[in-house]
Structure 1
Amino acid sequence: MPRTPSLLHRIARHILPASLACVLLGACADKPQNTEPVSIKLGESFESFQARYSNRVEAHQPMGANFAKIHWPAKAMGVVRFEHGGHSLEIPHVQYVGGREESAAFKSDGLSRFTVSAAASAKGRVSPSEAQQAFYALLRGLQEAGWQRVNGFSVPRLKGKDSYDYMRQTLEGSLDADYMPPVDEWLKFTEAPYGFYADGVFLEVRFDFLDFETKSDAFRAYVFIFNFEGSHTHFRSHLEDKDRPEWRSKIREAIAGSLADRQVEEAKLRARGIAIDESCQDPPFPEGI
């Protein structure tokens, strides 16, 4: 049975010009990939994942958590498939994947966080404009695959440049994937996440550099970073550590407080003439909460 084309391949085929598709997919590159995907899925146990990739996994078990990591060399980058039904993603040019299973109190959640780091280009360095176009094509592809924007329960629901300006001033929330700032401004926001949600999974995507070139128009090696998080883990993160064992009985009150803070901030912004995106929907609570 043929494998479903990766998200990035589908993006490049339908959106990108041939030259940029070459950059994103490495079709013109001389660096091979380990094309057999490493499959990751939130909820799988640490032991099961370690057994499936026993000859490749670096396992670490510090107090309170289990970590499983796989690295690929730059000359033979890998492919990671994130399994999530109709929202599954296949990510090429991967250099690193790491999963975390929480402490004994939450071990039943299995691996509840994954980070994937993938090169933007198999050929190495690209121009800032090429990197930005590739990154925003990726964001559009996520939206087409059913991933919806999330912005944080306490953060005002802003769109476009308003979202960008608020992030620049407060460093809170997530950026709007439908707004592309000028490339020189975009380069300043390597830590700013673009947040998404799909059927019980939260995803943050951002970019970074693999080198320290100081000229803004220089060709550089870019990396795209994906942080996947299960719904239980995400909601628990809104509580202090001491309250997390009883998170099921406390999370609604905590989120209500965050939503109240949001209303106050949105009222201030409305008074300044800034539009609030009333259509923005918060993700649901986990089933049974």
Structure 2
Amino acid sequence: MMKGILPLVVFLGLTASGVALATPRLPFEFTHGDSKSMKLSLVRISLGDPKKSDLNQPGSSVDNHPSGTNFFQYDWIDGNLGTLEFMHGKHSFLIDNALSAMGTDANGVPDGIYQWSVNFGVSPERVDTHKSALARIESLFSDLRRKGWVRYIGINHPRLSGRQAWNYIKLNPVYSLDPNYMPTMDEWKATIRKMPHWVFYADGVYLDVSLLESNAEDFIDKSTYLLTITFKNEYSFYGIGYFPGNSEKIANWKKLLPAELQKYHADRLKTEAVLKEQGYAIDTTYQDPPIKALQGSPSNPQ
């Protein structure tokens, strides 16, 4: 029934590895020139039924893989960067300077498109100042907060906020940062090479903002930035996320997840106890998001 899931997980794993192991030159190009000359076309995407996304516009393509996994892709070329709108009710928002986007669904998965990944730039230019990149992040996060997106902390990770959360990635590079904290320029420059990321959620959808920076051409006070937003529904975030590569467990993720969450939560408490002894402040006001697929389940730990 879950035909196509394992190839997808392998594909995504290879993609992530490719980013992590890539050479300093980023795998995209911007075109120099007046941003007013860039023709921006609005493309609407959403999770769920593919018919709700604009899948027939110029630059779009569909790859129906023999495994049963389907990839819906957009590529903006020749300097014509795109504008995307992610549709999610009152949580919808725009992404400009889009370079590419890819959605994924699979035969046997009733949820339709369960993931979108969107690559975009700080501006239409090829390189940007660090100040501009930080301002773009700050603007994006401000917009997300206005639209009702809330910070997410992994259930096995400590509930840290502000500068302490920022500094914690020195100990745990995959820790999701606090989007309410804007670092100093020195903090920003010291951390951008670590591929920082921030995670949000809103009404059953999870959003991961990640950043890749490179200065292969030794620009002065400038760098090439690639921003990526990945949207996932609960099936993708919890089912594939907690049981990667195991199609049987992915198929039964709703039954298996509560026990996993309890183990992960125990890990969080152990880590927090150690950090408290080191002087960290634990944000006890943070609440894990409700998992809609588990609501009403007698085994739901929430």
Per the normalisation by structure 1, the TM-score is 0.81
Give the partner amino acid of 2:155.
F
Residue pair 2:45, 2:54 contacting (<8 A) in 1 also: no
Residue pair 2:97, 2:120 contacting (<8 A) in 1 also: yes
Q: Distance in 1 between the 2:201 and 2:53 partners?
A: 27
- Give the secondary structure class of the aligned counterpart of 1:34: coil
Q: CA 1:87–1:247 in 2, change beyond 3 Å: closer, same or farther? A: same
Q: CA 1:74–1:55 in 2, change beyond 3 Å: closer, same or farther? A: closer
Residue pair 1:31, 1:123 contacting (<8 A) in 2 also: no
Residue pair 2:122, 2:227 contacting (<8 A) in 1 also: yes
**Aligned-pair distance for 1:211?**
5.6
Query: Is residue 2:241 matched to residue 1:235?
Result: no
Q: Report which stretch shifted further, 246-255 or 121-130.
A: 121-130
Residue pair 2:192, 2:213 contacting (<8 A) in 1 also: no
Residue number among 42, 52, 71 corresponding to 2:47 in the alignment: 42
Q: Distance in 1 between the 2:55 and 2:156 partners?
A: 40
Q: Distance in 2 between the 1:33 and 1:219 partners?
A: 25
CA deviation digits over 1:26-72, x for unaligned, max 9? Answer: xx62441233x111010023xx3788416532222332411111100
Partner residue in 2 for 1:20: none
Partner residue in 2 for 1:134: 136
Q: Distance in 1 between the 2:171 and 2:37 partners?
A: 40
Counterparts in 2 of 1:1-289, with a 5 A limit?
A: 29-35=35-41, 37-45=42-50, 48=51, 52-53=55-56, 56-62=59-65, 63-102=67-106, 104-106=107-109, 108-187=110-189, 188-190=191-193, 191-209=195-213, 212-214=216-218, 217-236=220-239, 237-240=241-244, 241=246, 242-288=248-294, 289=297
Residue pair 2:44, 2:53 contacting (<8 A) in 1 also: no
- Give the secondary structure class of the aligned counterpart of 1:141: helix
Residue pair 1:50, 1:57 contacting (<8 A) in 2 also: no
Give the partner amino acid of 1:167.
I
**Aligned-pair distance for 1:196?**
0.3
Per the normalisation by structure 2, the TM-score is 0.78
Q: Report which stretch shifted further, 239-248 or 108-117.
A: 239-248
Q: CA 1:32–1:172 in 2, change beyond 3 Å: closer, same or farther? A: closer
5+ residue gaps, structure 2? 1-33, 298-302
- Give the secondary structure class of the aligned counterpart of 1:225: strand
- Give the secondary structure class of the aligned counterpart of 1:134: helix
CA deviation digits over 1:134-173, x for unaligned, max 9? Answer: 2112112211221100010100000111111211211132
Residue pair 1:101, 1:111 contacting (<8 A) in 2 also: yes
- Give the secondary structure class of the aligned counterpart of 2:169: helix
Give the partner amino acid of 1:40.
I
**Aligned-pair distance for 1:209?**
3.4
Q: Distance in 1 between the 2:283 and 2:199 partners?
A: 16
Give the partner amino acid of 1:230.
N
Q: Distance in 2 between the 1:41 and 1:66 partners?
A: 15
Give the partner amino acid of 2:144.
L
5+ residue gaps, structure 1? 1-27
Residue pair 1:60, 1:66 contacting (<8 A) in 2 also: yes
Q: CA 1:157–1:50 in 2, change beyond 3 Å: closer, same or farther? A: closer
Q: Distance in 1 between the 2:254 and 2:286 partners?
A: 25
